[in-house]
Structure 1
Amino acid sequence: MDHISREVDRTQELAGVMSKIEMNHRAFCFANVKDAKFPLVGGLYNSLERFGDALGHNGPEPFTHADFDGRIEAAKAEPIQPLTVDSGLTKENVITGDAINLHDLPVPTFFELDSGPFITGAIGVTRDPGSGELNIGIYRTLIIDRNHFVINASSMSDLRRIYSSWEATGETMPIAIALGVPPAMLIGGSCKLPPNMCEFGVAGALAGEPIQLVKCEDSDLLAPADAEIVIEGTVNFSNRVENLLGEFAGQYGPEDAPVTQVNTITHRNDAMFYSIVAGRHPEHNTLGNVAVYGVQRSIAASIREVAPEVIDLEVLLEPAMGTLAHVVVSIDKHSDAQPRDIIERIFAASGNIFPVSKITKRIIVVDDDIDVHDPVDVRWAVWNRAATETKFMVIPGIESWELERAAKAGQKSVRIGIDATMDLEDIDKLLRPIIPGIDEINLEDYLD
């Protein structure tokens, strides 16, 4: 971890130093953020290996996306429910009334056009007014003034649904955010779960023990008992604020959300403020994989339903390739019309989270001698087996996910289909050179 003791301004100076350190995959601690009463830490989980360490992975092989996804799915299958306790370290200090000042927190302003300072590393805690179930997630939170902030809710988040449900009741909605929570809770808060399944249970399963929760000061919400800082508030649906923040895919994202009045702040005696560098940064994107796994699984399941003849498939969701998915499927081709038909069926699939066409930008169909998981092999197929314009499909006017910022009026955008298979008449002249039996050769049997 890199320690910075010199005074640093909390605007882009702080963000700039945080960014430069994290791009080297280093954690950081700022002890002297100007006009702040707490130190700032971050970059703690900026690689898969860090999450693997946090989850107790100690095998000889590196911790992979498959390992991470497998741990999360196992936790969903067998959650460990949280335990409510009488008190915790987060109650060591209780701040109310005129003593509340959000500017005491070292909240960075990250990018040039951001609407202001954003809390990025907190989990939000709410309660579904219908089921009474607690719900947690990770939301970007804009500081408005000493005792007001805006907690944003994307279209994929449960918070948007919960906001709507509370607003419909006409009642006051309590909300809390907790900073400096265990990594299992950050992972749980990033999961996309079935309605009324609590993320605290998934976090407990990941941690191997119940998450200890303590009652909030101003509501029946429960917050992590050992959190560094907990901020409690009341949502005002009559006052909404539009705001802007640089996002994971390297673009600005506008949001509109209700204002929350802060009623109470509790914190540990030695509290530290945890911040995730926004935009295309390692910790942000690594934690984002948790949500990505669910989207990938949803798209893959939809493809299997509508195109059972698909042999293998890859669903790519990489910030470097934008906010939408790129799909590659392999087939045992029987007719030249088959790839186009498969592309059309996949784009028309209903999906489980969103329609496939809404969150998928491009579909490539390859022959079964191409490794769909190898992008070099896939590119080789595209540029060596697609010779005519009929191999490329351009589908205009598709309703797109809100995070595709380049979409035009009505959130409409283009979709691309590529037939990278060999035309049947060309198979003999397009065969790949292979060495028979090479897969069975073990080099250790030959090397001195």
Structure 2
Amino acid sequence: MISKILIANRGEIAVRIIRACREMGIETVAIYSEADKESMHVYLADEAVCVGPAKTQDSYLNIGNIISATVLTKAQAIHPGFGFLSENGKFAKMCSECNIAFIGPDAETIENMGNKAKAREIMIKAGVPVVPGCEGTIDSEDQALKEATRIGYPVMLKASAGGGGRGIRIVREEKDLISSFRNAKSEAKAAFGDDSMYMEKFIEEPRHVEFQILGDSFGNVVYLGERDCSIQRRNQKVLEEAPSPVMTEELRREMGEAAVRAAKAVNYKNAGTIEFLLDKHGNYYFMEMNTRIQVEHGITEMVTGVDLVKEQIKIASGNKLSFNQSDIKIKGHAIECRINAENPEKNFMPSPGEIKYFHVPGGPGVRLDSAAYTGYNIPPNYDSMIGKLIAYGKDRAEAINIMERALGEFIIDGIDTNVDFQYEVINNEKFIKGKYNTSFIEKELKH
């Protein structure tokens, strides 16, 4: 078993990993930028190493400094969390070359599934349904016009190396295609250093449903149910719930088995997520695979009783999965609200600054994953998420009631937050009835 782990991340996910390690008797090393020297993960870890200035490319994306910190502290493994280097095949490969265990899939898997065009080819061969689209990347404006005509409008342009909603454009008419293609390429280049694009049919008003999988080094893969991530703003998830309000046992089994086929097609090891679009007729299509732990992993933990971070560490240590598919049972309902430092009344403008007072909700069925505290200064350099508020109940109605109560108890003074906005979401009649899709915020909540 791994006995010392360096956490190549910050904020609440770093705290989450430290907690799992502490319960397993594993020592931890935190890395931090100069802007994060007073962050919670720095205080909680057994050791902490500064890896550079505030800019991400000089600190949390600085592979050389992170590898050096790992060697210096004699850590045996690196947990990348999510974001930053978590889906960087080069980083995973360097860890392997330096005899450092990377807590995630191998480099080849990351690279294959990180390239959306390549991932699509693999899924077709594995018999996983995919959205109608182009084969390979779109390399010219003329090709973009021809493919859009063949596929049929509306189409979606997506960055091949993308994620997090970047480098995406929906095009409904031919007259808008070239400008959208140029803008998406430019955004992709700035965000990922890679401007290659691909195109697929845009599925109108789908639900975004993802399946959590775990795979070990012995060829075993299981799925742990689904999460409905359809409450989004500009392709960024705002609220997630497990299970999906529209899921049936039959559809869950069918989609779960497709997710397992997808994982086995790339010899997947560790935790991963297969993301699908689900239309109103029950048709589902592979969208992408996230080769890391997800932000919203906590709601799956609540309804399955499986600690996904501990399982990641066990798998990276060479252990077999300690359970099989028949052992996984979905019990109850969990909802996660992402609490962000932002102002919904000002187009969700980020609101960095000092938290003057921080009172967290508690009581039965409430979980908060956060690295914030009274007096903490949220830096302007990183993601604006303060924490993830999770409500768990015996059924969906109870989970909604618990979330409403918890949001009412949450006090964060000194900065703007989206707590009231989340309150609007869960009190919306269509949300309460489970009748929503990815256009919910755009159509239902005028912000």
TM-score interval (norm. to shorter): under 0.3
- TM-score calculated relative to the size of structure 1: 0.22
Which of these two proteins has the greater Rg computed from alpha carbons? 1
1 or 2, which has the higher helix percentage?
2
- TM-score calculated relative to the size of structure 2: 0.22
